[in-house]
């Protein structure tokens, strides 16, 4: 009958775009897991560069490859001590570097026995806020397999949009050079 | 023609992404190679069913077979068994402390042989120094007890003599665990032999008088 045909036609018109959009969801999720995404920063360990509540743009392409990273990049990685958490820190040392860790008295020593040698495909991360950061000084070098992505830009709040993340770089004097 | 090409591409990309998502977050069926898990898994021709529910070490127990990324090479994946959970105390490898493995024993034998064949004092002194340097107390990190830190696991292969595992690359963070092996199929066998040798990979660990 004519009325039945029109109702099914309108129903089709309504549901078809919805179903088509649902089939695009896996593509969006894959894109967000492997190319780029956004993230919200929590905690004080990266002050003054990144404050709690900031939103950043995250570049995820090739994020488990050591060659994608340079010293002083800001990255996100799964916490070694708790795989459910994600930490944001700055890379201070790459594979094969020797670093001088910050010891418990917040001083450093160039005593050769206290040097940490970073193994293959591992990185040394520290927070910019030297006194309020649980980082590689606590849990040692981090495998790049745990890395989630590189922070490239701050996108929120708009007042700090696009600030230079390399302006303040945390602790200097980390690498041991002979 | 461009329209059909575009349509095919759009279907392909949607299917590939869906398959990739299932593969990463739910279930995977892939080949394993290597002798490090004998006799549980064959050296070649074994395909495992991996459940990704246990990704990142969720609800994982001691004795489970897991697939993880190698800490020193995240592009490579390893299948090993968990033999230490956070808080456990592990004796790294008592077999490395065996006198039969010690290089110093071999040196001592050489000295013994040389004495019969008369060696000069310089060479004898050098051999004694070498024996001293290579003795267990100086070299062995394997005879130590270590405690597994929180969020990490200790992995070993079932074939201990032929396995590169936690005894080499130390504790593995749970964030590197990609899934748990629940079953395996052996394609060396025929279809009639229990569907290509299908078997559940069981966790045979139990605690002696442990928690209920």
Q: Is B29 left (phi over 0), alpha (psi -120 to 50) or beta?
A: beta
Catalytic residue of the set B70, B80, B163, B166: B80
The reply to whether omega before A62 is within 30° of 0 (cis) is no
B20 near A CB under 8 A: yes
More confident residue, A13 or B172: B172
List the Cα angle B191/B195/B198 in 5-degree steps. Answer: 130
Q: What mean pLDDT comes out for the span B72-94? A: 91
For residue range A144-169, what is the model confidence (pLDDT) as tens digits?
Answer: 999 999 999 899 888 888 778 888 77
Which range is least confidently modeled, A86-100, B27-41, B193-207?
A: B193-207
Of B20, B74, B151, the CB nearest to A81: B151
Supply A100's token pair: 């001088």
The number of residues making up chain B comes to 212
Record: contact A144-B74, CB cut-off 8 A:
yes
Sign for the CA dihedral angle at A130, A135, A141, A147 comes to: negative
The structural domains of chain A, with segments of one domain joined by +, span 35-160
Structural contact between residues A171 and A92, judged by C-beta atoms closer than 8 angstroms: yes
> Is B80 among the catalytic positions?
yes
B72 near A CB under 8 A: yes
- The pLDDT value recorded for residue A26 is 93
Chain B residues closer than 8 Å to A30 by CB = 17, 20-21
Supply A48's token pair: 């003054």
Is B29 a residue whose pLDDT tops 80?
A: yes
Contacts of A2 (CB under 8 A, 6+ apart): none
Q: Is B197 left (phi over 0), alpha (psi -120 to 50) or beta?
A: left
Which range is least confidently modeled, A76-85, A118-127, B112-121, B161-170?
A: B112-121
Record: contact B75-A64, CB cut-off 8 A:
yes
Is B26 a residue whose pLDDT tops 90?
A: yes
Structural contact between residues A135 and A127, judged by C-beta atoms closer than 8 angstroms: yes
Is A142 a residue whose pLDDT tops 90?
A: yes
A144 near B CB under 8 A: yes
Active site residues of A: 45, 89
Q: Using CA atoms, how far apart are residues B100 and B163, in angstroms rounded to an integer?
A: 19
Helix (H, G, I), strand (E, B) or coil at A172: coil
Structural contact between residues A75 and A149, judged by C-beta atoms closer than 8 angstroms: yes
For residue range A65-104, what is the model confidence (pLDDT) as tens digits?
Answer: 999 999 999 999 999 999 899 999 999 999 888 888 887 5
Of B17, B73, B175, the CB nearest to A78: B175
For residue range B110-130, what is the model confidence (pLDDT) as tens digits?
Answer: 777 777 776 677 777 777 777
Is A50 a residue whose pLDDT tops 60?
A: yes
Of B56, B72, B149, the CB nearest to A81: B149
- The pLDDT value recorded for residue A9 is 84
Chain B residues closer than 8 Å to A65 by CB = 75
C-alpha distances in Å from residue A35, one per residue of A60, A93, A153, B106, B139: 5, 24, 15, 56, 46
Chain A residues closer than 8 Å to B75 by CB = 64-65
Looking at CA atoms only, how far is residue A168 from chain B in angstroms?
A: 30
Record: contact A83-B17, CB cut-off 8 A:
no
Which range is least confidently modeled, A57-61, B98-102, B156-160, B204-208?
A: B98-102
Of A23, A30, A78, the CB nearest to B21: A30
Q: pTM for this structure? A: 0.81
Helix (H, G, I), strand (E, B) or coil at A91: strand
Q: What mean pLDDT comes out for the span A3-23? A: 84
Is B146 a residue whose pLDDT tops 70?
A: yes
Portion of chain A with pLDDT greater than 70, in percent: 91
Record: contact A27-B17, CB cut-off 8 A:
yes
Q: Using CA atoms, how far apart are residues A7 and A76, in angstroms rounded to an integer?
A: 51
- The pLDDT value recorded for residue A47 is 85
- The overall average pLDDT reported for chain B is 84
- The pLDDT value recorded for residue B101 is 55
Q: Using CA atoms, how far apart are residues A77 and A91, in angstroms rounded to an integer?
A: 11
Record: contact A120-B174, CB cut-off 8 A:
no
- The pLDDT value recorded for residue B212 is 47
Portion of chain A with pLDDT greater than 90, in percent: 42
A78 near B CB under 8 A: yes
A35-160: CATH architecture: Ribbon (2.10)
Supply A30's token pair: 């894959």
What single string gives the DSSP state of each residue in A10-37?
A: HHHHHHHHHHHHHHHHHHHHHHHHHTEE
B69 near A CB under 8 A: yes
Q: Using CA atoms, how far apart are residues B25 and B23, in angstroms rounded to an integer?
A: 6
Contacts of A114 (CB under 8 A, 6+ apart): A100, A101, A103
- The pLDDT value recorded for residue B9 is 92
Chain B residues closer than 8 Å to A79 by CB = 151, 175
Q: How far apart are the first and last CA of chain B?
A: 67
- The pLDDT value recorded for residue A169 is 79
Chain A residues closer than 8 Å to B151 by CB = 79-83
Q: Using CA atoms, how far apart are residues A83 and B59, in angstroms rounded to an integer?
A: 12
Q: Which of A170, A128, A163, A144 is nearest to A57 (CA)?
A: A163
Looking at CA atoms only, how far is residue A163 from chain B in angstroms?
A: 31
Buried b (16+ CB within 10 A) or exposed e, A13-50: eeeeeeeeeeeeebbebbeebbeebebebebbbbbebb
Is A106 a residue whose pLDDT tops 70?
A: no
B87 near A CB under 8 A: no
Q: Using CA atoms, how far apart are residues A101 and A92, in angstroms rounded to an integer?
A: 11
Sign for the CA dihedral angle at B154, B175, B159, B181 comes to: positive
- CB-side neighbour CA atoms (13 Å) of B65: 24
Chain B residues closer than 8 Å to A144 by CB = 74
A30 near B CB under 8 A: yes
């Amino acid at each position: 009958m004519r009325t039945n045909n029109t109702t099914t036609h309108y129903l089709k018109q309504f549901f078809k775009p919805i179903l088509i959009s649902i089939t695009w969801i896996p593509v969006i999720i894959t894109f967000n897991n492997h190319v780029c995404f956004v993230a919200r920063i929590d905690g004080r360990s990266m002050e003054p560069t990144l404050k709690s509540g900031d939103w950043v743009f995250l570049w995820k392409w090739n994020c488990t490859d050591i060659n994608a990273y340079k010293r002083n990049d800001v990255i996100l990685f799964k916490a070694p001590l708790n795989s459910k958490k994600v930490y944001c820190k700055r890379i201070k040392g790459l594979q094969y570097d020797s670093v001088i860790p910050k010891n418990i008295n917040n001083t450093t020593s160039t005593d050769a026995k206290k040097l940490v040698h970073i193994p293959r495909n591992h990185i040394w991360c520290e927070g910019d806020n030297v006194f309020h950061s649980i980082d590689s000084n606590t849990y040692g070098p981090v495998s790049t397999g745990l890395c989630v992505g590189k922070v490239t830009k701050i996108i929120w709040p708009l007042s700090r949009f696009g600030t230079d993340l390399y302006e303040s770089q945390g602790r200097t004097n980390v690498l041991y050079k002979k | 023609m461009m329209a059909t090409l575009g349509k095919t591409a759009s279907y392909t990309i949607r299917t590939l992404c869906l398959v990739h998502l299932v593969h990463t977050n739910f279930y995977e069926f892939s080949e394993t190679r290597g002798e490090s898990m004998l006799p549980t898994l064959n050296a070649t021709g074994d395909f495992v069913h991996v459940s990704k529910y246990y990704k990142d070490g969720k609800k994982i127990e001691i004795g489970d077979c897991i697939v993880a990324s190698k800490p020193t090479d995240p592009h490579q994946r390893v299948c090993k068994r968990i033999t230490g959970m956070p808080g456990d105390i592990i004796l790294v490898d008592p077999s490395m402390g065996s006198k039969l493995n010690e290089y110093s024993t071999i040196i001592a034998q050489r000295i013994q042989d040389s004495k019969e064949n008369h060696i000069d004092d310089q060479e004898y002194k050098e051999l004694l120094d070498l024996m001293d340097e290579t003795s267990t107390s100086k070299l062995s990190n394997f005879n130590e007890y270590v405690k597994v830190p929180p969020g990490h696991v200790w992995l070993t292969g079932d074939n201990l003599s032929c396995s590169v595992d936690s005894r080499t690359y130390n504790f593995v963070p749970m964030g590197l665990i990609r899934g748990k092996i629940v079953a395996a199929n052996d394609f060396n066998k025929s279809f009639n032999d229990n569907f290509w040798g299908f078997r559940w990979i069981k966790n045979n660990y139990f605690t002696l008088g442990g928690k209920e």
